[in-house]
Amino acid sequence: MNRQDRIDALKAAAKERILILDGAWGAMIQRRGLEESDYRGDRFPEDKYPGQMKGNNDILCLTRPDIVTDLHNAYYGAGADISETNTFSSTVIAQDDYKLDEQSVWDINMEGAKLGRAAADAWTAKTPDKPRFLAGSIGPLNKMLSMSSDVNDPGARSVTFDEVYNAYRQQIRALNEGGVDLYLIETITDTLNCKAAIKAIMDLEDEGMDKLPIWISGTITDRSGRTLSGQTVEAFWNSVRHAKPFAIGFNCALGADLMRPHIAALSRVADTLVAAYPNAGLPNEMGEYDEQPEQTSGAVGGWAKDGLVNILGGCCGTTPDHIAAIAEAVDGVKPRDPVPGKHTMRLSGLEPFEVGA
């Protein structure tokens, strides 16, 4: 299938059933017990790239592509319709922690997309009645536009909007050229950072880049029901709905039990698909996740049966076993019907605000 055929197939599948996203990548990579040499390969010698490279999982797209392909295959084999590129931290801003140059960051995104594209196409060829899709992972930054970088100076910022915009612009172009089917702006803690990514997508489309569906996934950081930059669920939706996303949702930070009320709140207002991929519960004292596949799938399966969601997957601590269990739990369950859009002025700050009828 060409790209437009894949996009059409994705939208058609979303009308027929609940789509399944993959699970955690970091946890699965940690299981491989990789060493510094695995991350460096031949391309990143220590004399040119000092400091520790171990832990920079995205760089494995260049130095251990076999592992990236194995993980795509594991999740597609578990029943995932959509897998993400291994590019969660692949911006020049995030990769500056490892002192990577701009060309290396471009190559991570390009190769990450190509690896995922090859895996998705191979699975689609094997099972043409269940095509597989590739989402370009656009993760959060380690610097925020909405919050001060200095507790003594509320106006201080360690990065400008233009810098964030340009970092995302480079990543998005590489992912598009590499062959992704949609963008997943995920684990959003700062809505202004997200807006920079959205603007980069829209501007590049205006310049002739292929137009792809956009999936936006925020993060509710604690029991307050707000993002880290302070927005409620509906305020967050109002902030990004101008992008007319293919899907809107939440991921990370919370397990399924604690995430449910926020997904329910989003389901009541979003006129597009609602997606969720929670953690496997909350981490234990050792920072590990103990929730078993049947626990996670039982919780999110209940969301599906209650008509709250269109896409489900897993975040931190989830494995191919979790994804297989989720796929089984929602098999045959009707996807949520998006609510009709309101023709009113809906504004946002930290709280939503609606004007007139």
Instruction: Say if CB 28 and CB 71 are below 8 A apart.
Output: yes
DSSP 351: S
- Domain containing residue 273: 3-355
Q: Has 316 been labeled as part of a binding site?
A: yes
pLDDT, tens digit, for every residue of 164-206? 999 999 999 999 999 999 999 999 999 999 999 999 999 999 9
Tell me the average pLDDT of the chain: 95
Q: Which residue has the higher pLDDT, 153 or 68?
A: 68
Alpha-carbon gap, residue 308 to 47, rounded angstroms: 52
pLDDT, tens digit, for every residue of 77-113? 999 999 999 999 999 999 999 999 999 999 999 999 9
Q: Which residue has the higher pLDDT, 221 or 278?
A: 278
Helix (H, G, I), strand (E, B) or coil at 312: strand
Which pair of structure tokens corresponds to residue 40? 């460096």
β-pairing, 214-218 vs 273-279, is unpaired
Which pair of structure tokens corresponds to residue 195? 């807006």
Q: Which residue shows structure tokens 């510094």? A: 36
CA 274 to chain centre: 13
- pLDDT band for 356, please (50, 70, 90 cuts): low
Q: Which residue shows structure tokens 């996009």? A: 7
- pLDDT band for 49, please (50, 70, 90 cuts): very high
Closest CA to 88 of 167, 187, 176: 187
- pLDDT band for 357, please (50, 70, 90 cuts): low
Is 133's pLDDT higher than 90? yes
What does 201-254 look like in DSSP terms, one character per residue? HHHHHHTTPPP--EEEEE---STT---TTS--HHHHHHHHGGG--SEEEEEEEE
- pLDDT band for 350, please (50, 70, 90 cuts): confident
Give the mean model confidence (pLDDT) for residues 266-277: 97
Instruction: Indicate which CATH number applies to the domain containing 72.
Output: 3.20.20.330
Looking at the chain, list the stretches that DSSP marks H as alpha helix, in order from N- to C-terminal side. Answer: 3-16, 26-30, 36-40, 60-63, 65-77, 102-126, 161-178, 191-206, 233-240, 256-269, 293-305, 320-330
Instruction: Say if CB 86 and CB 60 are below 8 A apart.
Output: yes
Q: Has 252 been labeled as part of a binding site?
A: yes
pTM above the 0.85 mark?
Answer: yes
Q: Has 61 been labeled as part of a binding site?
A: no
Q: Which residue has the higher pLDDT, 343 or 297?
A: 297
pLDDT, tens digit, for every residue of 148-161? 888 889 889 999 99
Alpha-carbon gap, residue 134 to 26, rounded angstroms: 18
Q: Which residue shows structure tokens 């897998």? A: 83
Q: Give me the number of domains the chain comprises.
A: 1
Give the mean model confidence (pLDDT) for residues 285-291: 90
- pLDDT band for 295, please (50, 70, 90 cuts): very high
DSSP 86: S
